[in-house]
């Protein structure tokens, strides 16, 4: 077994479980004040734990990282902030051995290291929690964690592993039942398992890639509490995000990246929302979303009407139960809920992808209960999918081809024997222009676009054809501030032009700022319908999680 010298041997494992020695912890307490705590640790120790020097990484169309320097200190929460495509994830994937840098070096604990694969990274005790978890749903929590342990004995002792899990989870507030099957856990608990996995495998550097994206508001606060406790025990944490509020809530130091370069590093006490925004976007900070007031047209026929709709439950998820819902032209109806409470079913029923097991669906005043997805789309219903790449486009097709797929009948010539690509191009450019967006390379395959550009391509395709009803599922999830703002503005623009929007989102800020009316979905039922002004965030939070009394 090739164990690197600095990795130590078997004998000091128990000591190394706590990266920060007790002496070190004590010195923090002595130093007292929070703001300069990180400086203390840095000087008290042998320099930064991880140093990235001059890291460059190019992909075929883009320079993702350009001579990036970054220091990660012992016992700090270091936020890596930046727009989508700023190169944050790439940088951390280089540290984790997922990509190899074209240039630059990585120094861990004072020694130059070559990290060729995640295996090398794990040997250096660097661990990463990905956006999409890497757990095996059919196995138990303990089994998933055992799989990841570096020195798993031939016949693992369940009791011992479960004991370790309980010990570590109690210490950091990561309580999970080791015997539970991962499939049955909610997303927040699955993330806890991911973190436990790294801790038990002895990681001292923990990288969180957009960790809060999948979490409900109260789960985010729990995660921050965990991060703080880990930091206080000397773990070094990198927290990749593009949300200012989260950075300000939990980070000790904040490094802002912009177009593959470091725009600046601030300590928590220097950082203000304004300073960070300026770093993220240079001088061109995005204007605040100022939304036009609602201009609701009380039309005789609603765009959409669901009457007592049920759907069959898919696997373990709830199906829709007795949904009654009316959506008028010129109205945005916000749907709040923790994901997995049949939001997807609601969208799919409207789009005709999922049959109603009972109940009626009316579109623009006509009974559309049994219409095919194609017919519904031809009637002017558009969609913004929750996973753009997996549900909205054909990944290897170009932007142009994907745009053509949106409305093929329109571009067919000679009864479909030929396609008018110049018309497609003209339409794409026109819709990008109308939406105030700049068009990306039209011959770029969809999978090569950044998250923001991909979402723009879908918005241009779906909103460019002037739909009368749009089902928008998490339209700003994973988007940076600028992209999210422009996406939101687009939704209000089409609302003002008389279209109806069903906005499914987990972002309460977004729901409050855009929605004319709100519904809360819980376990497939509408828990409450209200005007945004009538209901507080706390009430919504309780309705979303099925806790509390609802009508408080």
| Chain contacts with other proteins (rule: CB under 8 A) | 351-353, 372-378, 383, 385, 390-397, 401, 404-406, 408-409, 411-412, 416-419
Helices assigned H by DSSP within 124-234: 141-148, 158-172, 187-200, 217-232
CB 349 to other proteins: min, Å: 13
Calpha distance 282→276 (Å, rounded): 10
In terms of CB distance, is 228 or 465 closer to other proteins?
Answer: 465
Choice between 303 and 401, CB closer to other proteins: 401
Among candidate residues 284, 234, 281, 289, the one with its CA nearest the CA of residue 257:
281
Residue 287 has φ and ψ, to the nearest 5°, of: -65, 150
Q: 498: buried, middle or exposed (CB in 10 Å: 19+, 13-18, 0-12)?
A: middle
Place of tokens 């003209």: 426
C-beta of 168 vs 313, nearer to other proteins: 313
Report how far residue 365's alpha carbon sits from residue 359's, in angstroms, rounded to the nearest whole number.
15
CB neighbours of residue 30 within 10 Å: 8
Q: Least distance (Å) from other proteins to the CB of residue 411?
A: 7
Please state the closest distance from residue 435 (CB atom) to other proteins, in A: 19
The residue among 172 and 411 lying less far from other proteins, judged by its C-beta, is 411
> What is the Cα–Cα distance from 412 to 104, expressed in whole angstroms?
51
How many residues does the structure list for the chain?
A: 552
In the complex with other proteins, the residue whose CB is nearer, 107 or 405, is 405
Tokens of 236: 């070094």
Considering the complex, state which of residue 223 and residue 393 has its C-beta at the smaller distance from other proteins. Answer: 393
Residue with Cβ nearer other proteins (201 or 353): 353
Of the pair 410, 537, the CB lying nearest other proteins is at 410
Pairing mode, strands 304-310 and 111-113: unpaired
Looking at beta carbons only, is 268 or 377 nearer to other proteins? 377
Find out whether 479 and 505 touch, Cβ atoms under 8 Å: no
CB of 374 to other proteins, least distance (A): 3
Burial of 168 (0-12, 13-18, 19+ CB in 10 A): middle
- Tell the smallest beta-carbon distance from residue 352 to other proteins (Å): 8
Query: How far apart, in whole angstroms, are the C-alpha atoms of residue 51 and residue 71?
Result: 5
Could you tell me the strand order of the sheet in which 261-267 lies?
Answer: 126-129, 205-209, 236-241, 77-82, 253-258, 261-267
Give the span between the Cα atoms of 329 and 470, in whole angstroms.
11
Least distance in angstroms from the C-beta of 547 to other proteins: 34
Q: What angle do CA 279, 458, 326 make, to 5 degrees?
A: 105
User: In this structure, what DSSP letter does residue 532 have?
Assistant: G
CA-to-CA distance for 65 and 51, rounded, in angstroms? 15
Shortest distance, position 178 Cβ to other proteins, whole Å: 33
Nearer to other proteins among residue 160 and residue 372 (C-beta)? 372
Give CA–CA dist 49/56, Å, rounded. Answer: 20
Q: How far is the CB of 394 from other proteins (least distance, A)?
A: 3
Do 550 and 526 meet the contact criterion of CB atoms below 8 Å apart?
no
Task: Kindly state the smallest distance separating residue 100's Cβ from other proteins, in Å.
Answer: 14
Shortest distance, CB of residue 503 to other proteins, whole angstroms? 17
Q: In angstroms, give the least distance from the CB of 453 to other proteins.
A: 17
Q: Which is nearer to other proteins, 248 or 353 (CB)?
A: 353
Using only C-alpha atoms, the chain has a radius of gyration, in whole angstroms, of 25
Least distance from other proteins to the Cβ atom of residue 475, Å: 14
Output 121 or 520, the one with its CB closest to other proteins: 121
Minimum separation from the CB atom of position 405 to other proteins (A): 5
Cβ neighbours of residue 374 under 8 Å, at least 6 residues apart? Answer: none
CB of 278 to other proteins, least distance (A): 38
CB of 44 or CB of 405, closer to other proteins:
405
Nearer residue to other proteins within complex by CB, 82 or 406: 406
Distance CA 36, CA 193 (A): 32
Residue 463 near residue 486, CB atoms below 8 Å: no
For 290-342, give the DSSP string: -PPPP-----SS-SEEEEEEE-PPPTTS----SEEEEE-TT-EEEEE--TTSS
Q: What is the DSSP letter of 390?
A: I
CB 61 within 8 A of CB 448: yes
């Amino acid at each position: 077994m090739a164990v690197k010298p600095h990795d130590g041997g078997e004998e000091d494992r128990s000591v190394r479980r706590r990266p920060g020695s007790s002496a070190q912890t004590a010195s923090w307490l002595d130093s007292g004040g929070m703001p300069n705590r990180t400086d203390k640790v840095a000087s008290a120790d042998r320099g930064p734990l991880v140093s990235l020097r001059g890291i460059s990484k190019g992909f075929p169309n883009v320079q993702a990282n350009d001579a990036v320097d970054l220091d990660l200190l012992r016992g700090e929460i270091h936020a890596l902030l930046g727009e989508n495509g700023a190169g944050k994830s790439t940088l951390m994937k280089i540290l984790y051995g997922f990509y190899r840098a074209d240039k630059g070096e990585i120094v861990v604990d004072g020694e130059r290291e070559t990290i060729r694969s995640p295996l090398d990274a794990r040997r250096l005790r660097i661990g990463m929690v990905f956006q999409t978890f890497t757990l095996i749903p059919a196995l138990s929590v303990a089994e998933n964690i055992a799989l990841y342990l570096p020195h798993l004995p031939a016949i693992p002792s369940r009791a011992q592993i479960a004991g370790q899990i309980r010990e570590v989870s109690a210490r950091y507030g990561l309580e999970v039942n080791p015997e539970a099957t991962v499939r049955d856990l909610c997303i927040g608990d699955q993330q806890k398992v991911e973190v436990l996995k790294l801790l038990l495998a002895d990681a001292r550097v923990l990288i969180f890639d957009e960790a809060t994206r999948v979490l409900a508001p109260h789960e985010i606060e729990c995660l921050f509490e965990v991060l703080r406790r880990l930091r206080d025990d000397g773990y070094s944490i990198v927290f990749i995000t593009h949300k200012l509020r989260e950075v300000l809530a939990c980070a000790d130091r904040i490094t802002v990246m912009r177009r593959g370069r470091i725009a600046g590093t601030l300590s928590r006490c220097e950082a203000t929302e304004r300073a960070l925004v300026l770093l993220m976007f240079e001088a061109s900070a995005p204007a605040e979303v100022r939304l036009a007031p609602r201009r609701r047209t009380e039309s005789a026929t609603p765009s959409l009407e669901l009457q007592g709709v049920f759907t069959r439950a898919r696997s373990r998820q709830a199906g829709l139960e007795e949904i009654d819902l009316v959506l008028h032209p010129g109205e945005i109806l916000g749907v709040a809920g923790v994901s997995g409470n049949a939001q997807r079913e609601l969208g799919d029923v409207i789009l005709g992808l999922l049959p109603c097991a009972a109940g009626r669906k009316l579109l623009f005043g006509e009974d559309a209960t049994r219409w095919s997805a194609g017919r519904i789309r031809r009637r002017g219903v558009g969609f913004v999918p929750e996973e753009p790449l997996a549900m909205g486009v054909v990944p290897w097709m170009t932007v142009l081809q994907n745009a053509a797929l949106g409305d093929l009948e329109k571009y067919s010539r000679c009864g479909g024997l030929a396609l008018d690509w110049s018309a497609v191009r003209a339409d794409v450019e026109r819709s990008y222009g109308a939406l105030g967006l700049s068009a990306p390379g039209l011959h770029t395959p969809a999978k090569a676009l950044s998250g923001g550009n991909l979402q723009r391509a879908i918005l241009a395709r779906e909103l460019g054809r002037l739909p009368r009803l749009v089902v928008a599922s998490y339209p700003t999830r994973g988007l940076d501030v600028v992209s999210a703002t422009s996406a939101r503005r687009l939704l209000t623009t089409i609302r003002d032009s008389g279209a109806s929007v069903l906005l499914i989102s987990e972002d309460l800020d977004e729901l409050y700022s855009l929605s004319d009316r709100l519904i809360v979905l819980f376990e497939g039922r509408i828990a409450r319908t209200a005007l945004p002004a009538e209901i507080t965030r706390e009430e919504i939070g309780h309705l979303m999680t099925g806790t509390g009394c609802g009508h408080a």
